[in-house]
Structure 1
Amino acid sequence: MCGVDYAAVESDADLLEWSRSYCREVRRRWGVDVRFDLVEWEISHRAKRRAAAVKRPKLPDATVGEPYDWTTVEGADGRPLPCTLSLTREAFETFDRAEWEATLRHELIHVEQYQRDGTTDHGEAFRERASALDTDVHCQAFAEATYVLTCERCGGLVARRYRDCPLVRERERYRSDCCGAALELA
């Protein structure tokens, strides 16, 4: 699969090489519709909350589930604008291989949605795709959250927060994506 064995990953370059190779294998094996020529890769040494993230331009008229017309975006030349897949080194060092692979599959769903729809979320389409790719809707935590918000109806994880924020303070204004129920502070 890759020139670098998972157990031998030491440098950031090794981590990027192994992760890129694994993602290409996921594309082949599970039919993930992602153009890697439009994905930039980076390693974060600062992130404390996210194992990985897809950084992308915000397109105000984009909706998950509706293919985006990239011909309307200046500089896009009819193809999606590049996004960046940012991998957190500390998460890689904390997770076992199966957790890291699941994290990468999770992020590939975000890239796939972004490239097709111009945006991404954790809604119903994401949940269905996550099930098909044998990954979770929310990535494993690698640091202890100060606040954990769950769905009042089903108990599902809605968000982990590491500091006080409007979602924590004003949680009665928000609803879960899964059931549309109120949020509880666990």
Structure 2
Amino acid sequence: MGEPVSYEGIKSDANLIAWSRQYCRRVRREWGVSVRFDLVDWEVSHRAKRRAAAVKRPKLADATVGEPYDWDSLDGSDGRPVPCTVSLTWDAFSTFDREAWEATLRHELIHVEQYQRDGTTDHGRAFRDRADQLNTDVHCPAFTEPKHVLTCEACGGLVARRYQDCKLVEQREQYRSDCCGAALELA
């Protein structure tokens, strides 16, 4: 597995991946996250501007969060989940302090855990409950300034950050917040 990397010693993509993997393995051990790391690939993005990290995975049409996926039904899976990729964003890592980066990794581990169990993932109720258990946020902090910020009209909670004009921004009156079911405000 290689020599341990200190957080302060992260100077390259390889260091970032090595340290993040070490941390995620510790989270699995200490927080009881059910993830098979032999089915997780890692990469670093130097282009992403909106996401601190992401789990890239195949979209499985019949997968539903909360319902264990029958991996045996998928050709070539041998009953095991198809590997996914955790993509880490260098600019987010460079902007965040250690605590925020660790929270970002715990957030992504929830996505991996859901995907490996259910074949899909989202930010719904099950994700929010697990985020509470892992002391992380449902939405990772921004590391670049968005062009548009949409909030819930009722509670003021963040609904979305958008970095360009899009359907959600232009037709926001047709959408409701997940938290309160209220209209969206453009901040």
Provide structure 2 residue ranges, at least 5 long, that are not aligned to the other structure.
none
Normalising to structure 1: TM-score of the pair? 0.96
Shift of 1:173: 2.3
Could you say what the CA RMSD is over the residues aligned between the two structures, in angstroms?
A: 1.1
Report the counterpart of residue 160 of structure 1 in structure 2: 161
Report the counterpart of residue 49 of structure 1 in structure 2: 50
Deviations 1:43-97 (A, max 9, x none): 0000001000001111111111111111111111111111110000011010000
Shift of 1:169: 1.0
Report the counterpart of residue 75 of structure 1 in structure 2: 76
Percent identity, please: 76
Q: Provide the C-alpha distance between the structure 2 equivalents of 1:71 and 1:174, rounded to a whole number of angstroms.
A: 38
Report the counterpart of residue 85 of structure 1 in structure 2: 86
* Secondary structure at 2:130 match in 1: helix
Q: Provide the C-alpha distance between the structure 2 equivalents of 1:154 and 1:81, rounded to a whole number of angstroms.
A: 39
* Secondary structure at 1:108 match in 2: helix
* Secondary structure at 2:61 match in 1: coil
Deviation >3 Å, runs of 4+: none
Aligned 1:1-186 pairs, distance under 5 A = 3-186=4-187
Q: Provide the C-alpha distance between the structure 2 equivalents of 1:176 and 1:78, rounded to a whole number of angstroms.
A: 37
Q: Provide the C-alpha distance between the structure 2 equivalents of 1:100 and 1:44, rounded to a whole number of angstroms.
A: 15
* Secondary structure at 1:32 match in 2: coil
Equivalenced residue count is 185
Q: Provide the C-alpha distance between the structure 2 equivalents of 1:172 and 1:60, rounded to a whole number of angstroms.
A: 29
Q: Provide the C-alpha distance between the structure 2 equivalents of 1:84 and 1:174, rounded to a whole number of angstroms.
A: 31
